[in-house]
Structure 1
Amino acid sequence: MIHPRVLFCLAGLAMAGAATYDDGLRLKAQGKLPEAEAAFRDAVAAKPTDPDATAQLATVVGWQGRHGESETLWEKALALRPADADLAIGLARVRYWQSKHDQAAADLEAVLLRVPDYPDALLLAGDVALARHRPEQARGYWQRVLSRQPGDPDASARLAKLGGPGIWRPRIRVDVSTGIDHFSGDRGRERFHSLAIGVTLWRELTVLAGYDSLYTFGQREERYRIGAASAPIDGLEVEATAAWTPENEILADRELTAGASYRLLSWLTPLVGWRHLDYSGGAGDRIDVLQCGARVHPVDWAWIEGKYQFAEARNSHTTEGGGVRIGASWQGIEPQLGWFRAEEAAPPLQPAMVTSWTAGVAFVHDNGGLRIDGSVEERGGQWYRSGIAVGLFSRY
Structure 2
Amino acid sequence: RLPCSNWMATGKLPEAETAYRRALKLSPRNTDTLVALGLVVGSSQRFDEAGRFFDRALAIRPGLLDARLGKVRLAIWQGDAPRARALVDDVLASAPDNVEALSLDARIALLEADYKRAGQSLQRALALDPRNAEALVGLGDVRRAEGDDEAARQAYGQALAIEPGSADIEQRLAVPPPRKWRLDLGNEVSDLTDGLGDWTDSSAGLSYRLSPQTTISGRTRLATRFGNTDVQIEGRVDQAFSPAFSAYALAAATPDADFLARYSLGAGASWQVVAPAKAFGPVSLNIDARYDDFADTGVTTVSPWVQG
TM-score range with shorter-chain normalisation? Answer: 0.5 to 0.7
Aligned mates of 2:179, 2:39 — CA distance in 1: 40
The answer to whether the Cα contact below 8 Å between 2:73 and 2:84 also exists between their aligned partners in 1 is yes
2:118 maps to 1:104: yes
Of the structure 1 ranges 75-84 and 225-234, higher mean CA displacement relative to structure 2 is found in 225-234
Residue matched to 2:276:
330
Aligned mates of 2:43, 2:214 — CA distance in 1: 39
- Give 1 or 2: higher strand fraction: 1
Spell out, residue by residue over 1:221-278, the C-alpha distance to the aligned partner (whole angstroms, 9 max, x if none). Answer: 664322334579999988653322345345432335679xxxxxxxxxxx9xxxxxxx
Spell out, residue by residue over 1:268-326, the C-alpha distance to the aligned partner (whole angstroms, 9 max, x if none). Answer: xxx9xxxxxxxxxxxxxxxxxxxxxxx9x9xxx73xxxxxxxxxxxxxxxxxxxxxxxx
Letter in 2 for 1:132: E
Q: Of 33, 36, 50, which residue of structure 1 is paired with 2:64?
A: 50
The answer to whether the Cα contact below 8 Å between 1:100 and 1:235 also exists between their aligned partners in 2 is no
Spell out, residue by residue over 1:61-97, the C-alpha distance to the aligned partner (whole angstroms, 9 max, x if none). Answer: 2222222322222222333432221221122122223
Report the Cα offset of residue 338 of structure 1. Answer: 7.0
Report the Cα offset of residue 26 of structure 1. Answer: 7.0
Letter in 2 for 1:255: S
Alpha-carbon spacing, 1:350–1:202, altered in 2? closer, same or farther (3 Å)? closer
Spell out, residue by residue over 1:192-235, the C-alpha distance to the aligned partner (whole angstroms, 9 max, x if none). Answer: 9987553313474422233568899xx99664322334579999
Aligned mates of 1:33, 1:213 — CA distance in 2: 53
The answer to whether the Cα contact below 8 Å between 2:111 and 2:243 also exists between their aligned partners in 1 is no
2:179 maps to 1:170: yes
Aligned mates of 1:161, 1:234 — CA distance in 2: 19
Q: Which has the higher contact order (CA 8 A, sep 6+)?
A: 1
The answer to whether the Cα contact below 8 Å between 2:214 and 2:238 also exists between their aligned partners in 1 is yes
Count matched residues. 263
Alpha-carbon spacing, 1:151–1:83, altered in 2? closer, same or farther (3 Å)? same
Report the Cα offset of residue 109 of structure 1. Answer: 0.6
2:250 maps to 1:241: yes
Residue matched to 2:146:
132
Of the structure 1 ranges 121-130 and 201-210, higher mean CA displacement relative to structure 2 is found in 201-210
For structure 1, the 5+ residue unaligned runs are: 1-19, 164-168, 179-191, 260-270, 272-294, 303-327, 363-396
Report the Cα offset of residue 122 of structure 1. Answer: 1.2
Letter in 2 for 1:333: G
The answer to whether the Cα contact below 8 Å between 2:261 and 2:295 also exists between their aligned partners in 1 is no
Residue matched to 2:14:
none
Aligned mates of 2:133, 2:249 — CA distance in 1: 40
Aligned mates of 2:129, 2:58 — CA distance in 1: 29
Alpha-carbon spacing, 1:251–1:355, altered in 2? closer, same or farther (3 Å)? closer
Aligned mates of 2:240, 2:284 — CA distance in 1: 24
Aligned mates of 2:51, 2:205 — CA distance in 1: 41
Spell out, residue by residue over 1:154-203, the C-alpha distance to the aligned partner (whole angstroms, 9 max, x if none). Answer: 5555456567xxxxx5345678999xxxxxxxxxxxxx998755331347
Spell out, residue by residue over 1:112-147, the C-alpha distance to the aligned partner (whole angstroms, 9 max, x if none). Answer: 111112122112212211221223433432343355
Aligned mates of 1:83, 1:52 — CA distance in 2: 14
The answer to whether the Cα contact below 8 Å between 1:243 and 1:254 also exists between their aligned partners in 2 is yes
Residue matched to 1:122:
136
Aligned mates of 1:345, 1:139 — CA distance in 2: 46
Q: CA RMSD in A?
A: 5.1
2:93 maps to 1:79: yes
With the length of structure 1 as denominator, give the TM-score of the two structures: 0.49
Identity rate of aligned residues, in percent? 23
Residue matched to 2:198:
none
Aligned mates of 1:116, 1:154 — CA distance in 2: 19
Aligned mates of 2:40, 2:242 — CA distance in 1: 40
| Residue aligned with 1:333, SS | coil
Letter in 2 for 1:335: V
2:174 maps to 1:228: no
| Residue aligned with 2:250, SS | strand
Aligned mates of 1:255, 1:110 — CA distance in 2: 49
Aligned mates of 1:213, 1:45 — CA distance in 2: 69
The answer to whether the Cα contact below 8 Å between 1:102 and 1:234 also exists between their aligned partners in 2 is no
Letter in 1 for 2:251: A
Alpha-carbon spacing, 1:142–1:90, altered in 2? closer, same or farther (3 Å)? same
- Give 1 or 2: higher helix fraction: 2
Letter in 1 for 2:122: L
Residue matched to 1:89:
103
Residue matched to 1:254:
263
2:75 maps to 1:61: yes
